[in-house]
């Protein structure tokens, strides 16, 4: 069942509570070195653990001392004003920032207890375990079948054509696309609609059996109907995968996520159950963002 902002607020009203925060908001200055993220940054049974993470582009600091855990079978949304560091932090989780020349990261990020920045870690394998879906659907200029088969081929996941067929069908089925494309697997992936292309990219990530799927504004190039389909899919997928999604849409965060993390100028200001963040934000900055006072 998806939840909407209206659901969250009406549930609150039905409980006889105001929809404005019940307690005084915290105004602590996030620029102070002593500032600590409000809310519970830990997760039961964490799959991802980030400790004291800082990210620099040259001399500019984009992420400042972020601590966060993400649990298995959990969908966490990153929200916050443009430029606050959501995408930068997301990219630290599968070392996509490695591709940016002047980017430097300090701190610790673990996936299932393994330091992903360890020098002997295989980054290609890491990016299969932590897949990524981007803002703009980016299918390869290949057939629908080959888009999915590409990763499993590289990672040697199939011993025969029959096994590869099974992987392709399973990934497309999980991404809710099989029925729509099963009769045209040889057609180019780029010929699909925007929403279908995005589901193809999700299927491509799934095909290499990841543990985590990172999504960077996955619906921002999609129309509302394609967005709804992808959001439904996110709901389905969180049963099997840990998902972290960056979104500019507060409605989307409210609809799909279990926990929400609010970033502001490189700091993780507040994190908590999505319902709590939306109905009872604890920091003034979070409330300002949620009520549209900035961002
Ligand atoms: N490759 C880069 N080189 C230098 N600075 C960068 C680079 N990428 C991002 N930044 C800067 O780092 C800060 C965080 O950017 P980031 O893209 O992570 O924010 P964001 O919250 O995802 O923004 P948006 O919502 O607009 O996508 C910004 O000040 C941005 O200008």
Spacing, Cα 88 to ligand 1 middle (Å): 6
pLDDT tens-digit profile of 54-76?
Answer: 999 999 999 999 999 999 989 99
58: its two tokens = 């040259």
Is residue 97 lining ligand 1, measured as CB closer than 6 Å? no
pLDDT at position 248: 94
ipTM of the complex: 0.98
pLDDT tens per residue across span 217-261? 999 989 999 999 999 999 999 999 999 999 999 999 999 999 999
Percentage of residues in the chain having pLDDT higher than 70? 92
What is the structure's pLDDT at 27?
84
Looking at the DSSP bridge assignments, the partners of residue 149 are none
Domain residue ranges of the chain, discontinuous segments joined by +: 5-11+35-139+205-290
Evaluate if residue 12 carries a pLDDT over 60.
no
**Tell me: the pLDDT tens digits for 105-125?**
999 999 999 999 999 999 999
What is the Cα–Cα distance from 164 to 184, expressed in whole angstroms? 16
| Ligand 1 proximity of 59 Cβ (cutoff 6 Å) | no
Of the two residues 271 and 8, the one the predictor is more confident about is 271
| 202-212 mean pLDDT | 96
CATH architecture for segment(s) 5-11+35-139+205-290: 3-Layer(aba) Sandwich (3.40)
Atom 12 of ligand 1: nearest residue by CA position: 62
User: Is the shortest distance between the CB of 86 and ligand 1 below 6 Å?
Assistant: yes
If pLDDT is split at 50, 70 and 90, which confidence band does 101 have? very high
What would the pLDDT profile of 234-246 be if each residue is shown by its tens digit? Answer: 999 999 999 999 9
Give the C-alpha separation, 96 to 100, whole Å: 8
User: Given a cut of 80, is residue 41 above it in pLDDT?
Assistant: yes
Task: Indicate if ligand 1 lies below 6 Å from the C-beta of 18.
Answer: no
pTM of the model: 0.91
Q: What is the pLDDT of residue 16?
A: 36
Place of tokens 């601590």: 67
Question: Residue 109, by phi and psi: left (phi above 0), alpha (psi -120 to 50) or beta?
Answer: beta
Decide whether any atom of ligand 1 lies within 6 Å of the 56 Cβ. no
| Residue whose CA is at the smallest distance from ligand 1 atom 3 | 57
Residue 88 pLDDT greater than 80, yes or no = yes
For residue 190, give Cα distances in angstroms to 135, 197, 200: 15, 7, 10
Q: What is the pLDDT of residue 158?
A: 96
Average pLDDT, the chain: 92
Q: Is the pLDDT of residue 83 over 80?
A: yes
Mean pLDDT of 8-30: 60
For 16: left if phi > 0, alpha if psi spans -120 to 50, otherwise beta; the answer is: left
């Amino acid at each position: 069942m998806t939840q909407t902002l209206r659901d969250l607020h009406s549930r609150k009203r039905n409980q006889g509570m105001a929809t404005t925060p019940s307690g005084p908001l915290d105004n602590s200055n996030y620029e102070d070195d002593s500032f600590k993220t409000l809310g519970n940054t830990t997760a039961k049974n964490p799959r991802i653990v980030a400790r004291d993470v800082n990210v620099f582009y040259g001399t500019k600091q984009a992420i400042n001392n972020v601590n966060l855990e993400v649990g298995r079978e959990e969908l966490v949304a990153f929200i916050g004003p443009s430029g606050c560091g959501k995408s930068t932090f997301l990219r630290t989780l599968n070392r996509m920032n490695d591709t940016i020349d002047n980017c430097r990261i300090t701190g610790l990020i673990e996936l299932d207890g393994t330091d992903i920045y360890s020098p002997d870690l295989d980054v290609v394998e890491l990016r299969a375990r932590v897949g990524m879906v981007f803002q703009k659907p980016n299918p390869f200029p290949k057939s629908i079948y080959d888009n999915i088969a590409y990763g499993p081929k590289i990672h040697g996941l199939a011993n025969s054509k029959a096994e590869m067929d099974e992987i392709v069908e399973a990934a497309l089925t999980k991404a809710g696309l099989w029925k729509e494309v099963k009769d045209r697997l040889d057609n180019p992936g780029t010929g699909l609609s925007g929403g279908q292309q995005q589901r193809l990219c999700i299927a491509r990530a799934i095909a290499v059996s990841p543990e985590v799927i990172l999504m960077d504004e996955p619906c921002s190039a999609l129309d509302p109907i394609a967005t709804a389909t992808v959001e439904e899919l996110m709901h389905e997928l969180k049963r099997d995968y840990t998902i972290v999604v960056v979104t500019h849409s507060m409605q989307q965060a409210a609809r799909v996520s279990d926990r929400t993390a609010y970033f502001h100028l490189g700091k993780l200001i507040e994190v908590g159950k999505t319902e709590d963040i939306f109905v009872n934000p604890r920091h003034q900055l979070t409330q300002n963002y949620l009520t549209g006072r900035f961002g």
